Amino acid sequence: MISDRKLEHLLICKYYDVEFKNKTTGFEDIELIHQALPEINKNDIDLSTSVFGKKMESPLFITAITGGHPVAKDINKNLAIAAEEMNIALGVGSQRAAIEHPELADTYTVVRENAPDCLLVGNIGAPQLNLADKAVEILDADILAIHLNPLQESIQPEGDLDARGFLDSISKICDTVDIPVMAKETGCGISSETAKDLVNAGIDYIDIEGAGGTSWAAVETYRADDRYLGETFWDWGIPTAISTVEVTSSVDVPVISSGGIRNGLEAAKAIALGADAVGMALPFLKESVSVEDIIEYINKFNESLRIAMFLVGANNIEELKNSNLIIKGETKQWLEDRGFNTTKYSRR
């Protein structure tokens, strides 16, 4: 049953080592350039940003984590209270469970109840796009996220393996649902080619969810009888820093950089690479036992983002986007090979 799998995922992610092993996000190859004379007032730095007309206090999404299990309800409630209080965005996990098992609906609706004003993101998998309307209906979300996760579908025993016609379905959903639609990966990243396809299909927002953080091949390795497949694909995917450049350089919609982002310094790098906001899942799962812990974590994230902005002299997110940075090492090599100019970021 989906519900049991959901609990298993939560427990594995919380207690096991599920992050990439031999691949990183690539943010260690990105260097913002210290400005000893920022000439700004750190206390005046404005972290806020607007998403489809809704203002957020800081450019942070708690990306899709859960729903569909009593334990998930508690987690979602805590996340919702904190997100509302801090005025950041919050996504729920795949709503498939709620649609197929209506008795589980409250494990999702608990979010809107506790977060009446925050930017709320619904979630449905690309293989279940027929459930999209229902998903929107149930949740009262501001945006619907369609998650793409061909790797997880491939490794988990119960996977949906027919990925034909997804673009068409996405295109239809974008036409029919009356809230903006976002596409998100789940830890393997979005390539420039896929980004263009998505935007052509009508997608309004891309959440890249690149490689370097939670690895779903890793998660499924712990559930599998045989570790071979999970081990083989543990480190598969486009590193987050690279995917951020691939996508922001190729399409014109707003972009969330995510997958392995763990503090405001990495967020600042992602934004200076062109992202509009960042997202995190695993760290929030780990703090999710209490509202206080979540809020403290968001405060620390915000403060570290603010410090990074202070040190490059950026008063706000727009100015941060124009900060100089260096791209080094394999991240540089990958991007240059794929035709992206990496030196343009270093003197602008």
Ligand X SMILES: Cc1cc2nc3c(=O)[nH]c(=O)nc-3n(C[C@H](O)[C@H](O)[C@H](O)COP(=O)(O)O)c2cc1C
The long-range contacts involving 272-275, CB below 8 angstroms and separated by at least 24 positions, are 272/30, 272/32, 272/312, 272/320, 272/321, 272/322, 272/323, 272/325, 272/345, 273/30, 273/241, 273/244, 273/245, 273/248, 273/325, 273/345, 274/244, 274/245, 274/248, 274/249, 274/321, 275/208, 275/244, 275/248
Q: Which residues are annotated as a binding site for substrate?
A: 5-6, 94-96, 152
- Written as six digits, the tokens of 97 are 């469970």
* Mutual angle of helices 240-248 and 192-200, in 10-degree steps: 50
* Residue 26 in the binding site for ligand X (CB under 6 A): no
Closer of 142 and 287 to a copy of itself (Cβ): 287
Picked from a copy of itself, ligand X, none, the partner binding residue 150 (CB below 5 to 8 A depending on kind) is a copy of itself
- Residue from 60, 86, 280, 314 binding ligand X (CB under 6 A): 280
Of 45-53, 109-117, 179-187, 190-198, the segment contacting ligand X by CB under 6 A is 179-187
* Residue 264 in the binding site for ligand X (CB under 6 A): no
Question: Is residue 313 classed exposed, middle or buried when 0-12, 13-18 and 19+ CB atoms within 10 A define those classes?
Answer: middle
What is the three-class DSSP state of 224? coil
One-letter identity of residue 171: S
* Residue 258 in the binding site for ligand X (CB under 6 A): yes
Q: How far is the CB of 321 from a copy of itself (least distance, A)?
A: 17
Closer of 11 and 168 to ligand X (Cβ): 11
* Residue 254 in the binding site for ligand X (CB under 6 A): no
Closer of 110 and 314 to ligand X (Cβ): 110
Closer of 96 and 314 to ligand X (Cβ): 96
Closer of 252 and 347 to a copy of itself (Cβ): 347
- Residues facing 122 on adjacent strands: 144
- DSSP per residue over 193-208, as a string? HHHHHHHHTT--EEE-
Residues 82-111 that bind ligand X (CB under 6 A): 93-94
Q: Which residues are annotated as a binding site for Mg(2+)?
A: 153
- Residue from 107, 156, 186, 342 binding ligand X (CB under 6 A): 186
* Residue 214 in the binding site for ligand X (CB under 6 A): yes
Picked from a copy of itself, ligand X, none, the partner binding residue 253 (CB below 5 to 8 A depending on kind) is none
Whole-number Å distance between alpha carbons of 220 and 9: 8
Residues 45-84 that bind ligand X (CB under 6 A): 63-66
Work out the end-to-end distance of the chain between its first and last CA atoms, rounded to an integer number of angstroms: 53
* Residue 335 in the binding site for ligand X (CB under 6 A): no
Q: How far is the CB of 105 from a copy of itself (least distance, A)?
A: 28
Q: Give the side-chain half-sphere CA count within 13 A for 254.
A: 17
Q: How far is the CB of 143 from a copy of itself (least distance, A)?
A: 18
* Residue 10 in the binding site for ligand X (CB under 6 A): yes
**Given the structure tokens 């902005």, which residue do they identify?**
309
Q: In whole angstroms, how far apart are CA 21 and each of 18, 25, 156, 189, 219?
A: 9, 11, 20, 16, 12
Binding mask 283-302 for ligand X (x = CB under 6 A): --x-----------------
Q: How far is the CB of 63 from a copy of itself (least distance, A)?
A: 15
Interface size with ligand X, residues (CB under 6 A): 24
Question: Is residue 274 classed exposed, middle or buried when 0-12, 13-18 and 19+ CB atoms within 10 A define those classes?
Answer: middle
* Residue 250 in the binding site for ligand X (CB under 6 A): no
Whole-number Å distance between alpha carbons of 52 and 142: 9
Footprint on this chain of ligand X (rule: CB under 6 A): 9-10, 13, 63-66, 93-94, 123, 147, 184, 186-187, 209, 213-214, 258-260, 280-282, 285
